[in-house]
Amino acid sequence: MTGRHLGRDDTGSFGGHPGRSGRLTPMTTAKTTGTATPTDAPGRHHRAEATIDLAALRANLAALRERTAGPAVMAVVKADAYGHGALPCALAALEAGASWLGTATPEEALALRAAGIGPERARMLCWLWTPGGPWAQALRADIDISVSGQWALDELLAAVRETGRPARVHLKADTGLGRNGCQPQDWPDLVAAALRAEAEGLLTVAGLWSHFAAADEPGHPSIQAQLDGFAAALAYAEGMGVRPEVRHLANSPATLLLPQSHYDLVRPGLAMYGLSPVPEAGAPADFGLRPVMSLTARLALVKEVPGGHGVSYGHHYTTAGPTTLGLVPLGYADGIPRHASNTGPVQIAGKWRTVAGRVAMDQFVVDLGGDTPAVGEDVLLFGTGEQGEPTAEDWALACGTISYEIVTRVGTRVPRRYLGASPAGGSGGPGGPGGSPA
């Protein structure tokens, strides 16, 4: 497992401050130091930037396809491709051999269709529906629709009759996750209703599927229970006459660790972006993966302060002695977890530092321990880890969360820069405000 101990900086203290107002105590003056990096240097005009390596994404898909050796691949690009940019990542994944795209919301799927990814290039499945659809728009866009209950099937069939466009449906069984999906006692009725509609020419049952609860916990008893439950759901539906194009169960951890779950289609999400969905079982490199996103910022201020100086709201960090502080212009409005206060790791001038005090909306501080890097110096929050820098997994450990959340929450104020676009330029489009090919 990757990661390292994230203790306090040698120069700082985690001691609290008795005041609650967040105001500075009577202070000695702080001296600003450091020299500015020229602002007209190429690529140096952003306060922060997320770099997305599309070549790494394509290589990750190739590694996953080699590991599965047979099933088709659905590239999961929900939540703006886990924060990486849905359109450029979808295009890169298709270039790497994925033949399906998966989204949670219909709006995500419709946006990809509107961007030019037609059904001749990729089948597309959307699985998170609420009453009202938009069923008709999805039918017109030739989006496959997941159905977990009778209410959804009824609404979808009304839209089919309205539009005259038959639906492609994936019936989802709840095999133990307890979220979306049809419960076993309701499965026979849902299957029967879908078969009646298919006989009328209103839909095709294109898929049968389910989702794991704990595939990221090797040996968890629910894994075998869900494998058995899915096999039973398949046997019943197929015994009643359903002939699906694809049967699918495997998410990222199951794609990596559970070959018996691969069936006709696997659905990698996090693994496609080069992060390990099972860090206890292996780092990305152990699975032939490389992180796709790196997050950097630039120091906005470097200043000398005396010992006993409170830092950020509430003074939950106080300097142990004379030191220098660096201001990083990213905060929780940009997706930096507030739980990273006093714990989040960064690398500045080759040295690991830790967030000093609370993460604020737009900025946080690091204790530089007397070093005086230049204003404008790069701050590497996370990268591949190949040069000893922090990774998204290190941030997850520091914040008590998972790497999925770290990359997905990087906000729209942070521009994306894309590396490794295809020679045809097909995967270099912007994935968020400020995005550009490179």
Peptide bond connecting 134 to the previous residue in cis, omega within 30 degrees of 0:
yes
- 342, 9 Cβ separation under 8 angstroms: no
Nearest 5°: phi and psi at 209?
Answer: -155, 170
Quick check: helix, strand or coil at residue 246? strand
Neighbours of 228 (CB within 10 A): 12
Which one from 31, 313, 351, 404 is the annotated catalytic residue? 313
Q: How far apart are CA 19 and CA 16, in angstroms?
A: 9
Q: How far apart are CA 6 and CA 390, in angstroms?
A: 10
Q: Which long-range contacts (CB under 8 A, 24 or more apart) does 216-219 make?
A: 216/253, 216/277, 216/278, 217/278, 218/257, 218/278, 218/280, 218/281
Tokens of 285: 């490199």
Q: Is 78 a catalytic residue?
A: yes
Which residues have C-beta within 8 Å of that of residue 414, sequence separation ≥ 6? Answer: 48, 49, 50, 295, 330, 334, 335, 432, 434
Which one from 78, 82, 303, 404 is the annotated catalytic residue? 78
DSSP for 39-53? TTSTT---SEEEEEE
CA angle 415, 402, 346 (to 5 degrees): 55
**Nearest of 172, 88, 162 to residue 129 by alpha carbon:** 172
What is the chain's percent helix, strand, coil content, to nearest 5? 30, 25, 45
- In angstroms, how far apart are the furthest CA atoms of the chain? 82
Neighbours of 72 (CB within 10 A): 20
Active site members: 78, 313
